[in-house]
Amino acid sequence: MELLLPKLGLILWTLIAFGIVFFILAKYAWKPILKSLDEREKNISDSILSAENVKKEMAALKSENEALLAKAREERSQMMREAKETRDKIIQEAKEQARKETSKIVADAQAVINQQKMAAITDLKNQVGNLVLEVSEKVLRRELNNKEDQEKYIQQLAQNVELN
């Protein structure tokens, strides 16, 4: 039982040692410990405020980024519409130009055909005229007494004439 209950001298010396340690701690350690605890508490609260400010800024930046993305998407869709309109306009102009050129080529070809046709008709008329002149000249040069001989001669000349 002696081991369980300490003696009065041990309690006294323990109280004195505790008092000295308490006095030393109160004189030199409590103020720096409490000061560091206050600084730590202040740093933690400042960090929390800073984190909240950063969170608010991030939310603002996020909404700003979303607005910028929406604006960029709108600009992109506008550019796509303009590009499509320009493409359609260029295609339409090319088709119109092709129609004009086709019409011009057809008109030129018809003019050339008409010109060649007129030239062929003129040439044919000239050949027929020359042929008639040759036959008439030969008939007139040959003096025939008989109308039958004259007709035979005309038929013979007609058979001998080669058309060009």
**Measured on CA atoms in the order 143, 149, 155, 157, is the torsion positive or negative?**
negative
- DSSP class of residue 25 equals I
Task: Choose among 150, 122, 144: nearest CA to 130.
Answer: 122
Domain boundaries defined on the chain: 9-160
For the segment 157-164, the average pLDDT, to the nearest whole number, is: 68
More confident residue, 83 or 4: 83
For the segment 13-36, the average pLDDT, to the nearest whole number, is: 92
Give the integer Cα–Cα distance in Å for 2 and 10: 13
Average pLDDT, the chain: 88
Give the integer Cα–Cα distance in Å for 164 and 162: 6
Give the pLDDT band (50/70/90) at residue 88. Answer: very high
pLDDT of residue 7: 83
Q: How does pLDDT run across 25-61, given as a tens digit for each residue?
A: 888 988 888 899 999 999 999 999 999 999 999 999 9
pTM over 0.75: no
Q: How does pLDDT run across 138-150, given as a tens digit for each residue?
A: 766 666 666 777 7
Work out the angle between the directed axes of helices 30-141 and 147-160 (0-180°, nearest 10).
Answer: 150
pLDDT of residue 164: 46
